[in-house]
Amino acid sequence: MQDIYNKLKDRFGLDIVYKNEPMDKHTTFKIGGNAEIFITPKNPEQIAEIIETCKECDKPYLIIGNGSNILVRDGGISGVVIKIGSEFSDIHIEGNIVKAQAGVSLYVLCTKTIEASLKGLEGLMGIPGTLGGAIYMNAGAYGYEIKDNLKSIKVLENGEIKEIDIANFGMGYRTSILKNKDMIVLEAVFELQKDDGTAEKTARDLLDRRHSKQPIDYPSAGSTFKRPSEGYASKLIDEAGLKGYRIGGACVSDKHAGFIINLGNATAKDVLDLMEYVKEKVYKISGILLEPEIKIVGHD
C-alpha cells in the first residue's frame, strides 16, 4: 500500500489523496469500511495518470460518483477509490444541445435544462446521484430512462479520450456496456426538445411523488432490487409481508417495500443478510428470484 500511496501523494499532493478514508462518508447508504486509498482527481488527465499508476503497482481501482447506488462491505475496499465529483460538474447549453460533465448531479442538470426552456430530462428529477453513474446503469424512473435523449458520450478508455455515439453504447434496462468495459464516463451530450410548458410541472409532480412514496428521510441506496419481468419488486416484497422487517439496523421500509433503509446504525452485513432473507422469502412465495439493483463492493 505504501508504495502506491507515496507515488500518488508525490504526483498529486495530499489535498486530493487520502489513506484509509471511511466510505460511509461517500455513500448515500452511510455504510461501509475504509477505502485503502481515496483520491479526488481534478481533470481527465489526472484520472488517466491515477489509473496508469494503479496498473503499474498492480492495484485494483474503483470509480464512484455520489455513491448513491452502492453498498460498501464492512471490511472496506482494497486498492484505490477514484471519486468523480464536483470538479467534473460543468454544463454547457447551446440551443437544444446540452453538454454536461460526469460529476454533475442529476438534480442540477434537470433544473438547468428546465430553466433553459428545454424538456426531455425532467423525468429524472429526484433520482439521486451524478450523471456518470446514471449513464453507467441507465438510470430511470416512472417510464423515463437517461438513454432516451442521450446523443453521445465521451469516455476515457486505456488512457485515451473517445467519443461514442449512443447507438453503439448497448444501453438496456439498468445496464450499459460500461459494466463490461474498462471505460469511464467523462461527459455526455443530450439532444432535447423545446419545452411546451410541461417540463417544470412534470418535474415538480415527480418530486412530490417521490417525497410522498419513498423513504427519503433515511439513508438508502435507492431501489434495492431490479424490477423483475413479472411485476414489481416492491409489490412482491409487500405481498410477502416484509414491510418493516429488520435485521440489525437495516429495515425494509414501511413506506416503500422496494427500499432497504439504514435506521442509523446498520452495517453492510445487516443489509446483505436482509437482502438475502427478502430474496428467499419472495422466491418461496412467488417463485420469482429478485436480483440486486445496487452494486455491492469491497470485502467482509
CA angle in degrees (0–180, nearest 5) for 299-275-248? 80
**What is the residue extent of each domain of the chain?**
2-83, 88-199, 215-297
This prediction has a pTM of 0.90
In tens, the pLDDT along 80-89 reads: 999 998 899 9
CA angle in degrees (0–180, nearest 5) for 81-69-135? 85
- Which CATH topology does 2-83 take? 3.30.43
Query: Candidates 3.40.50.720, 3.90.78.10, 1.10.10.10, 3.40.50.10260; correct CATH number of 215-297?
Result: 3.90.78.10
In tens, the pLDDT along 228-278 reads: 988 899 999 999 999 999 999 999 999 999 999 999 999 999 999 999 999
Positions marked active-site: 174, 223, 293
CA angle in degrees (0–180, nearest 5) for 239-243-247? 125
